[in-house]
Amino acid sequence: MIEKMDSTKKEHVLGFKSLIKKAMKQKKHLKWVYPTIKSYDLRKARKIISYYDMYFIRNDNEIIGMLDVYPKNTCGNCGMPPKDPNLIDIAYFILSEYSGKGLGKKAVQEAIMLLKSKGKKISACTAKINEVSINMLKGLGFKKVRNCSKNRGYSCYFIDGKPVDGIKWRLG
Ligand SMILES: CC(C)(COP(=O)(O)OP(=O)(O)OC[C@H]1O[C@@H](n2cnc3c(N)ncnc32)[C@H](O)[C@@H]1OP(=O)(O)O)[C@@H](O)C(=O)NCCC(=O)NCCS
């Protein structure tokens, strides 16, 4: 269900670009990830894919979402430096027409198995009021590590341009 994006494959670069274009029309559904979604030309899309560790989420062969792994920072959103090089942060979204059907959880579950097989420890961030993502992470065995206060000088999440509190989660 998940497939690593490859910047040397034209269909992957085009698939990523097209996914982002669809996501840009789903501001309401993707409000938690929306500030980081920007339109890309092909060169930029290729550069992003080659820099980050990103996966397509597919349903039958169709691209329905994506999952990012942040190996360079433990926190994909605020970029807090890693204390443990094996600790990685994941972020994900599913297009609205596919959400609520068990597909997001299945994709994240698959990513967890893959990352664990590579010896990685996994963390994630959510906005404090992102009920669906929080329920999903809890259901997958994630435990709350700490609150990420919007008043610490930076914020991971914004709604309508206003910062909101976040939560850091860790698996196991
Ligand atoms: C978060 C997201 C990836 C989850 O994927 P999904 O396919 O919609 O969710 P699933 O159908 O797999 O459900 C996963 C769990 O979420 C919870 N959930 C699903 N729908 C829910 C709802 N309407 N209300 C509350 N909890 C809900 C349930 O606990 C469910 O697990 P269960 O069915 O085993 O109880 C998806 O909703 C999404 O892309 N949301 C917008 C982007 C986003 O918030 N990304 C995460 C940023 S931290």
Residue with CA closest to ligand 1 atom 15? 136
For residue 37, the model assigns a pLDDT of: 83
Angstrom CA distances, 13 to 64, 75, 76, stand at: 15, 25, 21
Residues whose beta carbon lies within 6 Å of some atom of ligand 1: 29-30, 32-33, 91-94, 99-105, 126, 130-133, 135-136, 139
Q: Name all domains of the chain by residue range, CATH numbers in brackets.
A: 2-122 (3.40.630.30)
Query: Separation of 154 CA from ligand 1 center, angstroms?
Result: 26
Spell out the residues 6+ positions from residue 10 whose beta carbon is closer than 8 angstroms to its own. Answer: none
Radius of gyration, alpha carbons of the chain: 15
For residue 149, the model assigns a pLDDT of: 79
Residue with CA closest to ligand 1 atom 33? 102
Residue with CA closest to ligand 1 atom 43? 93
For residue 122, the model assigns a pLDDT of: 92
Q: How do strand 87-94 and strand 121-127 relate by DSSP bridges?
A: parallel
φ/ψ region of 156 (left if φ > 0, alpha if ψ in -120 to 50, else beta) reads alpha
For residue 75, the model assigns a pLDDT of: 59
Which is the closest atom of ligand 1 to the Cα of 135? 29
Residue with CA closest to ligand 1 atom 5? 104
For residue 80, the model assigns a pLDDT of: 60
Output the tens digit of pLDDT for each of the chain's 172 residues. Answer: 999 999 999 999 999 999 999 999 999 999 888 777 888 899 999 999 998 889 999 999 999 999 998 765 555 555 566 677 788 889 999 999 999 999 999 999 999 999 999 999 999 999 999 999 999 999 999 999 988 877 766 677 888 778 888 999 999 7
